[in-house]
């Protein structure tokens, strides 16, 4: 392909990234630095904001790990399914993405509520009811529900591309199925798991509607704090500073993750 053609084909994507991603970051950075580094000092010098950053990271880590733990077996079965079974598994997986986040949250409220589905079943069984709504537990369940497809699809795509002959070769050399899976399939699917984890983690770090709707009086994350600063306080500069901190935190986590994965590779 000629160089000019390559440039022309790449141009729309590059322009889109420049104007849709880098320009807003530059504007946000400029806004946050209008009064010097004071706003960053406010964030990093105050235990409350550090606690919110820690809560945001912890929530994203927990959601990512649960999505990985539940999603990997699903991805394995999906990758090896054929015909209508595969289609059914796919539809079941992506169904949460077809529903608006607000409607989905209201659905969870019906399930978690004091007189909701879970408590109705518990009460019918003579068991004590649970106060799940407006808690971190409710937030984690709702986020895993909607973010798990990103994990599963990433892992399944990698698993589908694996040559079945590799497992057959391991079996021929005397490896039992579990050993072949642990030593052959898992390492080779690591790339998909990392991609899925990055997607789930990044999406979770930016989630605030689910946190706002499903959380309680004590649940706070960085995106929600940013939303408050914009909608209630009208403090664009502080919202921009918090946005930059959120971005830097995500980039730092990805960098650490990259180093960790490089260390794990055989």
Partner 1 sequence: MALNRLLCLAALIASAPFSAAVAQDKIVVTSSGGVWLESAKANFAACFKERTGKEAEILLSASNEIMQKLRASPGKPPLDVVVLSETDAIRAGQEGLLEKITVEKVPNIKDVPEVFRKQWNDFATIQNFGAMIVMVNGEKVPNPPKDWKTLIDEVAAGKYGKRVSFPSLTMPWGPMFTWFLTTLYDGNEDMVFQKYKAMLPNIAKYWVSPVEALNMFAAKEIDILVYWDGRAYAFAEENKWAKAYIPEPGAFQSAAMLAKPKGAPDLAWQYVDCVLSPKAQLGHAQMVKYPIVNSTVDYPPALKAQLTPLERVRQPDFQLIIQKVPGWLDRWNREIR
Site for partner 1 in 201-240 (CB under 8 A): 212-213, 216-218, 220, 225, 228-235, 238
d(CA 139, CA 240) in angstroms, rounded, equals 25
Closer residue to partner 1 (CB): 49 or 150:
49
Checking 32-39 for CB contacts under 8 A at 24+ apart, the result is 32/237, 32/238, 32/240, 32/241, 32/243, 32/244, 34/237, 35/237, 39/237, 39/238, 39/241
Element (H, E) at 67: helix 47-80
Q: How far apart are CA 258 and CA 264, in angstroms?
A: 10
Closest to partner 1 by CB, 73 or 216: 216
Residue from 109, 141, 162, 175 touching partner 1 (CB under 8 A): that is: 109
Q: Nearest distance from residue 203's CB to partner 1, in Å?
A: 21
Single out the residue of 7, 8, 17, 256 in contact with partner 1 (rule: CB under 8 A).
Answer: 8
Among 17, 102, 123, 256, binds partner 1 (CB under 8 A): 102
* Contacts with 114 (C-beta within 8 Å, 6 or more apart), sequence order: 129, 131, 133
Q: Is residue 133 a contact point for partner 1 (CB under 8 A)?
A: yes
Residues within the interface to partner 1 (CB under 8 A) = 5, 8, 48, 102, 106, 109-110, 113-115, 133-134, 212-213, 216-218, 220, 225, 228-235, 238
């Amino acid at each position: 392909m000629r160089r000019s053609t390559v440039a022309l084909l790449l141009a729309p994507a590059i322009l889109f990234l420049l104007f849709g991603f880098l320009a807003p970051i530059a504007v946000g950075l400029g806004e946050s630095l209008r009064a010097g580094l004071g706003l960053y000092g406010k964030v990093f010098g105050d235990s409350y904001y550090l606690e919110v950053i820690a809560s945001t990271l912890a929530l994203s880590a927990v959601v990512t790990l649960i999505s990985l733990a539940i999603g990997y077996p699903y991805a394995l079965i999906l990758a090896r399914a054929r015909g209508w079974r595969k289609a059914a598994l796919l539809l079941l997986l992506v169904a949460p993405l077809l529903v608006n986040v607000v409607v989905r949250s209201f659905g969870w409220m019906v399930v978690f509520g004091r007189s909701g589905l879970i408590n109705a079943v518990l009460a019918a069984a003579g068991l004590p009811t649970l106060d799940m709504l407006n808690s971190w537990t409710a937030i984690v369940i709702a986020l895993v529900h909607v973010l798990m497809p990103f994990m599963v699809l990433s892992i399944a795509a990698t698993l589908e591309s694996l040559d079945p002959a590799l497992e057959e070769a391991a079996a021929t050399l005397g490896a039992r199925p579990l050993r072949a899976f642990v030593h052959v399939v898992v390492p080779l699917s690591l790339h998909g798991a990392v991609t899925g984890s990055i997607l789930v983690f990044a999406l979770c770090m930016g989630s605030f509607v689910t946190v706002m709707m499903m959380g309680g009086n004590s649940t706070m994350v960085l995106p929600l704090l940013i939303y408050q600063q914009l909608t209630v306080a009208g403090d664009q500069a502080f919202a921009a500073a918090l946005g930059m901190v959120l971005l830097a935190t995500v980039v730092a986590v990805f960098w650490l993750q990259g180093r960790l994965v490089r260390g794990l590779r055989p």
